[in-house]
Homo-oligomer: A and B are copies of this chain.
Amino acid sequence: MSDVDPFSRGCAWIQGEYVPIREARIPIMDAGFSRSDVTYDVVAVWGGAFFRLDAHLDRFERSMSRLGLELGVDRDEIATILHDCVRRSGLREAYVDMIATRGWPARGGRDPWTFKNQFYAYAIPYLWVVEPEEQERGSHLVIAKDTVRIPEASVDPTVKNFHWGDLTRGAFEAHERGGTVSALPDVDGNLTEGPGFNVFLVIDGEIHTPASGVLLGITRRTVLELAEEHGLSTHVRAIPVADAARAEEAFLTSTAGGVMPVTAIDGRTLGDGTPGAVTSRLRQAYWDAHSDARWITPVAYDA
């Protein structure tokens, strides 16, 4: 793929046309922007194949249904558009985003149930929530004290959304306190999630992750499934923030980065300060799964 190919940095699908990512723009009047009335999903392409595409499409369809969004494209057409974005970019490792917005009024007025909903998609080079170099040494997780996660009674966290004001505030606080990644508590003082990732603790060799108030991440689910296959005990439960002080290991999960080791929490070094044994085992299993036929869908690239 030549550097002069304008699609080589990514390809987007915008209102029926494939455009280079640099030219990908949405109308400023789209309520997906002006009211953040939008849901989305991100699936990874690794080694030329989608990973768990069906699981991502299932969740995307559920999210749209929960918001009452109806696109003019069905599931098969969405999959075709995602394939085409990747194929046209030529990327073998890609971050592939599908976005459904409320759109704009079909006939004037401001009632969202009358709007013409919109679908956008793009494929860009694979994004790392934590860069691979930092993953090798492990991240320093700071759990915010000044901000709580938006509660489920306000915005449903299982409908993947762009309401990141709280997560962004938490990221600023973590940065000021010397952290490299951040997570938020809920109003009851339980651990939730960070910007773009779920959080796991390893306590007495067993795996713990919050049950509610979080996105039901596909990578989170994959890790829980792989842990069980490896004979590890898993606990999906409410986790008081204080439990973080008992963790001997911790890690983050995201489609954009996989299983990302944490080697310090709130200034406390975990174990010997290198990625832990359980974390490393699951991280290896996660990437190994990317050649597992049950979970991959090869992209039909141009010859």
Q: Which residues of A contact B (CB under 8 A)?
A: 12, 14, 21, 24-29, 32-37, 68, 99, 102, 110-113, 120, 122, 127, 129, 147-151, 153-156, 161-169, 171-172, 175, 187, 195
Contact = CB atoms under 8 A, between A and B. Distances in A.
Contacts of A12: 28
Q: How many copies of this chain does the complex contain?
A: 2
Given A37-B168, A111-B175, A150-B151, 11 more contacts: A24-B29, A28-B99, A34-B162, A35-B167, A36-B36, A111-B171, A112-B172, A147-B154, A148-B154, A150-B163, A163-B165
A28 B118 CA distance: 13
B24 A151 contact: no
Contacts of A26: 25-26, 28, 33
Nearest to A149: B154
A78 to B, nearest CB: 17
A164 B35 contact: yes
22 contacts: A14-B28, A21-B29, A25-B25, A26-B26, A26-B33, A28-B99, A33-B162, A36-B36, A37-B164, A110-B129, A111-B171, A112-B168, A113-B175, A148-B151, A148-B154, A149-B154, A150-B155, A153-B187, A154-B154, A154-B165, A156-B165, A187-B187
